[in-house]
Structure 1
Amino acid sequence: MKRLRLGLWACFCLCAATTLMGQNKVKTTAEKVTLFIDGAQVTRTKQVDIPAGNSTLIFTGLSPYMDAQSMQVSAKGKLTVTAVNRQYNYIDSLAVSEKQQSLQKELKKIEKQQKEQNAELGLINAEYEMLKTNCSVNNKNTATSLATIKEVNQYYSGQLKTLKTKELAINEQIAELAIKQGQLNSELAQLSGKSLTPMSEIVVNVNAPAACKATFTLNYYVKNAGWFPSYDVRSGSLAEPISIIYKANIFQNTKEEWKNVELSLSSSNPSTGSVAPTLSTYWLDYGLAAPRYNLNLNGNTVSGIVLDNERTPVIGATVTIPGTTIGAITDINGKYSITIPNGQNKLQFSYIGYQTQTR
Structure 2
Amino acid sequence: MKIFKGFIMKILAILIVFMAQFVSVFSQHEVHVAGTPDKITVFQSGANLAMSLKANVKKGTNIIYIDSMPSFIDANSIRLSTGASTSVMSTDFQMENIPIEEQIEPKNIIALRDSIKTLNYLIRDVNNNISVLQGEDLMISGFKLHPETEKGATIQELTALAAYYNKRVTEIRKEILNFQEKNSDYGKDLVRLNKKIAEYEATKKTLQNYQIIAVLSSEIDGNINLELNTFTPSAGWVPNYELKFKDISSPLLLSYKANVWQGTGRDWKDVSLVLSTRNPNLNNEMPVLYPWYLRLDRQKIDFESSSPLTLDQSANTIRGSRAEEKTMMVDGIELGFVDNKYMTVEFNPSSKYSIKSDNRKQSITLNEVDVPATYEYYCAPKLDTDAFLVAKVSDWGKLNLLPGESYIYFENTYIGKTMINPQSTDDSLSISLGRDKSIVLKREIVEDMTETKFFSSNVVKAYGYVITAKNNRKSEIKMTIEDQFPVSTHEKIEVDLIETSGAEVNKEKGFLTWKVNIPAGKTIEKKFGYKIDSPKD
Q: Tell me which interval the TM-score lies in, with the shorter structure as reference length.
A: 0.5 to 0.7
Q: Is residue 2:263 matched to residue 1:232?
A: no
Contact 1:25 1:60 in 2 (8 A): yes
Q: Distance in 2 between matches of 1:49 and 1:156?
A: 75
Matches within 5 A, 1:238-249: 240-249=250-259
Q: Distance in 2 between matches of 1:184 and 1:207?
A: 50
Residue 202 of structure 1, CA deviation: 1.3
Identity, in percent, stands at 19
Q: Distance in 1 between matches of 2:325 and 2:197?
A: 48
Aligned to 1:310: none
Query: CA, structure 1 residues 92+73, in 2 after alignment: closer, same or farther (shift >3 Å)?
Result: farther
Question: 1:36-73: per-residue Cα shift (whole Å, max 9, x none)?
Answer: 33432111122444433322222222222333232222
Which structure has the higher relative contact order (CA within 8 Å, separation 6+)? 1
Q: Is residue 2:258 matched to residue 1:265?
A: no
| Paired AA for residue 250 in structure 1 | V
Contact 1:74 1:217 in 2 (8 A): yes
Q: Distance in 1 between matches of 2:250 and 2:325?
A: 46
Matches within 5 A, 1:162-201: 163-165=173-175, 167-201=177-211
Query: CA, structure 1 residues 49+186, in 2 after alignment: closer, same or farther (shift >3 Å)?
Result: closer
RMSD of aligned Cα (Å): 4.6
Aligned pair count? 275
| Paired AA for residue 291 in structure 1 | R
| Paired AA for residue 29 in structure 2 | G
Question: 1:96-126: per-residue Cα shift (whole Å, max 9, x none)?
Answer: 3667899778756644543443343344445
Residue 264 of structure 1, CA deviation: 0.9
Q: Is residue 2:329 matched to residue 1:291?
A: no
Aligned to 1:114: 123
State which structure, 1 or 2, has the greater radius of gyration over its C-alpha atoms: 2
**Which one of the candidate residues 25, 30, 38 is aligned to 1:31?**
38
Query: CA, structure 1 residues 179+254, in 2 after alignment: closer, same or farther (shift >3 Å)?
Result: farther
Q: Which runs of 5+ in 1 are unaligned?
A: 1-15, 296-359
SS for the counterpart of 1:261 is strand
| Paired AA for residue 236 in structure 1 | K
Aligned to 1:205: 215
Q: Which has the higher strand share?
A: 2
Question: 1:60-103: per-residue Cα shift (whole Å, max 9, x none)?
Answer: 22222333232222223233322111122334745536678997
| Paired AA for residue 117 in structure 1 | V
Q: Is residue 2:74 matched to residue 1:67?
A: yes
Q: Which runs of 5+ in 2 are unaligned?
A: 1-20, 145-149, 290-304, 310-315, 327-537
Aligned to 1:3: none
| Paired AA for residue 37 in structure 1 | Q
TM-score scaled by structure 2? Answer: 0.41
Q: Distance in 1 between matches of 2:281 and 2:164?
A: 88
**Which one of the candidate residues 96, 107, 111 is aligned to 1:89?**
96
Query: CA, structure 1 residues 239+125, in 2 after alignment: closer, same or farther (shift >3 Å)?
Result: farther
Q: Distance in 2 between matches of 1:76 and 1:245?
A: 43
| Paired AA for residue 215 in structure 2 | N
Query: CA, structure 1 residues 69+103, in 2 after alignment: closer, same or farther (shift >3 Å)?
Result: farther
Question: 1:238-268: per-residue Cα shift (whole Å, max 9, x none)?
Answer: 5544433233343444344544422111244
Residue 218 of structure 1, CA deviation: 0.9
SS for the counterpart of 1:63 is coil
Q: Distance in 2 between matches of 1:287 and 1:155?
A: 113
Residue 151 of structure 1, CA deviation: 9.3
SS for the counterpart of 1:76 is coil
Residue 205 of structure 1, CA deviation: 1.3
Question: 1:165-200: per-residue Cα shift (whole Å, max 9, x none)?
Answer: 563255224423442343234324423432333122
**Structure 1, 240-249 or 56-65: larger mean CA deviation:** 240-249
Q: Distance in 1 between matches of 2:201 and 2:263?
A: 20
**Structure 1, 266-275 or 71-80: larger mean CA deviation:** 266-275
Query: CA, structure 1 residues 121+226, in 2 after alignment: closer, same or farther (shift >3 Å)?
Result: farther
| Paired AA for residue 40 in structure 2 | V
Contact 2:42 2:276 in 1 (8 A): yes
SS for the counterpart of 2:182 is helix
Contact 1:117 1:174 in 2 (8 A): no
